[in-house]
A and B are shown apart, each in its own frame.
Chain A
């Protein structure tokens, strides 16, 4: 910062309060104040003042070890910056930041912004905009970002009054991280970046409606009567089940959830977004439920008589047929922070809106005070025995004798070496589901996947962002040959910044997941999903982008050895695995099907014969 302290600030005030600064300097100072440790972004005309301010800030405030306090990480494409910010946010729980120019720079972030909204991930995207006077004139690199983003983001600000800039920035971080987290976009015209201002060091915008609703939820406590109704109903239950979603990860409620589940002896199944909320290696953990959930988890949903949904929203990948989801449950309880999710898909019998940890603790204490003892004589021992039996009988399985490399075996091999001590990111497709199914998840924020939007191209940039958040942890991107193509330019970003990210491409020569649906629902007409004649040499591509370790694995007998050397490689490493292109994702609860009609494939037993009818594909998704 070029500005000097002018006056002695009030005690407790920001040390720079009262300092003259440009709008751009204020942007950087608020980022620093918000604890932002890294910014992902791409420069351009309309954001140049802020880029210059970052440069000066880093030059004038080096860390003790000489490193930059606010490193700018430059992707190949702004979509990459958005997903890096997301990877950072998902792995750390902190707000991720992307900084891009106007027009094409900003529109390139629409996909990661929408993706962050759909998965409730806190990011702030700062966009340059053409000068205020030029807005609406079809100026060079102008796009109506506040309009475009308004329908994608949790909130968007267009700063037309420079005096509001500082408060707007702080408020953006507040909105991103509070309540149900999400993306906030700030569009800053270039003249506002250049405006001569005075830094206040404090102040937010008035957002009375938002804050009042937030406070009501944050302050909400479960009263005795509500606890009693819950515990009364639970005491009647013979087969209770916790259905846990990404909200538990977002709310940092993993510890409370695990204590609750353990104390009451209630088994847990999680959604794709909830993986890591429960330790999947524990006896009462059923791993993932839903469209590609484990057979034992889905059968447990069929068999349970009491559901406790925590930070989960009965979405169509879990409750494809809402009326049939957990149809045997006589009582469904729902805990969340978003009032709009209660009764949205499925009517529930009991709900609480508020802090998840406090609510779970209150319920647990109430149960304990009433002498509730799940391990007591016979309480749920039949249910526990039944689940142990389900886990044994309907365990995940695949063709181990197949002469081609099975993708499941590759993930198992990586998992044997990592055992939860790894951050896994993914693209979207079969490889994503295999990773979800075959990795152990022992801790939250170690599973980064585009759940709701299902955005191909997420895996590589998310891994990069995550590595910046967690320098201490191994980061592995399990990607698909089609997904990785979407943001392949970010391979070079990995080596540019010397990140020891491990990139795995499970190459089945095409859009495997789409082929699976074409096989099931379109009589095997593989319209536009086969890439076996494509020419890309992934190894050469990785080498060209500076990967010293770039290996193609195509013999099953080499899997363990090569995976071991790949994971042990100290720097960026790339592994392409030529997998069986016919490998499928099972179990599968097809669209419009109930859990009872789940297809378990050739290697996992099924409780019911697979339905013979071919699904009518038109309305299915």
Chain B
């Protein structure tokens, strides 16, 4: 009889590891762990270099013949362009402080997902070509020459980093692995390697203004449909000003809020709030996307997609921009917009709230205010009539989305707003929130369904903390200010803490907002019965 393996033999999943150094261990491209490649026509249309057909699971990636030269030149070019990159290559002392801070490492237990080793993949190439010792000693000091497998490895791990920046918080030198991942992705694009989930929105955004490529008239009609829903719920139909000149404010939000559940409830919240304030604003079909998937490909693409915000503000003559609940849009605005496309058009002004008179000095250079700041200011000045008991069916917790939290420090404003519109709020454990927040596991363009397994792993630290408050306090709603989170957290919650639903902040604001002249409200924005209805009926 053939010998059956023992349980020990069956689970031995690391035979190669002790024998081989981590350098030599090659990633396995198995379904569920890599994203589908960008399509050649898309890459051509976007004038990306070396567009070609390829399959990540195949041996041959059909790279251009001189791929090595292209990559080496591009790396040299980026080193010259970004002083930070050169610094990050040089100063890491491999102290390991960042090693266990990455949700990908925590969820996969793959050592190359430790931020320090993720960067080491690139640094090993740097050492070989740019340091004297590396040239002489080579492999003994961790230097290696670029080969085909290393390209695959760079791809594998650059798309297992959500550019969340949690690791940089713990690095004594502030090395920002997210920036390095962004540059690795940029290098890979030079030899025609990109992913469909990112490049398709980039194409759509370039051609029609939003990620799904919805044409202006259709976009407008969908917004009208949501305004109809608002009327059904609130009894008042909010205005839907589109592409109108001469308004004070241009409002831009992620298009996910218009097309996707549960983002639409946040969008309806915007409409209801602005209508109640009688805000002097317009929406735009051209700038119908706050998100910027270009920022997950190359700096130039990010710059191009970002440019339309100011261009549209200029065309429509708006004085400042109010920005909706988006994640990476705010990273781009806060960290890059000024350098990409600044200074702002001459007529734009430092934002001033028309309702409270507050001057948003923090937005003096970008001219763009976050909706949570705007709402917090309204509440602080007592300008909103709020009935938080309308959200009494909800026990809420707050997810700090990586970009607003770590790239712009938006930590207290949304909490301030939330605490005024709901009665039941509980924080997740301290080392998983605010600057320490754990990523949803699928940011930076990794929110695609083909890697659902990977996302459930990388999102595990977030899901784990959520599950804790669900069991301890009965939390049933996780709120956030990020459209990608509103798409990625529902499956994550469904897996790690089933029963918890997800929403944006403004959805809950609009639930609680008592509008002037509104008939008695019986539904929330999801058209579910409001809590306490039965009690009131009994009381009557």
**Are these two chains actual partners, yes or no?**
no
- Chain B residues engaging chain A, CB cutoff 8 angstroms: none
